[in-house]
Amino acid sequence: MTKSPFLTYQYLLDPDFCDEIARSVRVEPLLSQDGVPEPQERYFLPLEERIFNHIKPLVPEIEKHYNIKYRGTEHLIFQQFPATGKQAEPPHCENAVFKRKKWIKVKDRDLTGIIWLKDYQETPPFDQKTQVLGGKLEFPIYNFGLQAQKGTMVIYPANERFISLTTAVLVGELQCIRIHIAGGVGEDGEGVWVYQPADYPGDYRSWFETVV
């Protein structure tokens, strides 16, 4: 079996809990000067501890999979992408910026996770409270993307090899939780963790043959 740089936990959160989170955090969209609703994000406070309780038992597996020593997790970030028909966010790296023709790590992030609070749906009937059309999580370097799956969490390296973006939301409103994990090497985790592509051969077709 090919080892994947992605860890996927299907239905980590049950649908009712996802709906509870979405209701407790959702805010009315802000409008641009042109009257277009804009994406929003905020550090997640309500229900954060309950969500962490689902993630904490996974830490040993995450450490083993990436050969990394867990050091901590930022406060969860809630993201809300309204339907605009335009790309929801530009391509970006979670922990680095591109300056003077090279990537410079500027944030203490080694792994990133996404938990979707809604399901992707492209055929009627369509429930805008629980479903979304569009809002794919894309990885341009690898030429593939992941559709929202309610309650599922996917984890991937936060470095420049995993530049990502959220595509345009066409119907509904994409809501998700973004998680940033800091890690390292050595017993105390203070050594710098470096992603090794050779440890994860293949491509997305083999990377997603199995999920947890």
Q: What is the dihedral of CA 73, 76, 92, 142, to 10 degrees?
A: 80
pLDDT at 93 over 60: yes
CB 99 within 8 A of CB 89: no
By C-alpha distance, which of 71, 48, 23, 32 is closest to 177?
48
158-202 tens-digit pLDDT: 999 999 999 999 999 999 999 999 999 988 888 999 999 999 998
Share of the chain above pLDDT 90, in %: 73
Mean pLDDT of 24-28: 83
pTM: 0.93
pLDDT at 7 over 70: yes
pLDDT at 212 over 80: no
By C-alpha distance, which of 152, 189, 157, 169 is closest to 39?
169
Provide the pLDDT confidence category of residue 11 given band limits of 50, 70 and 90.
Answer: very high
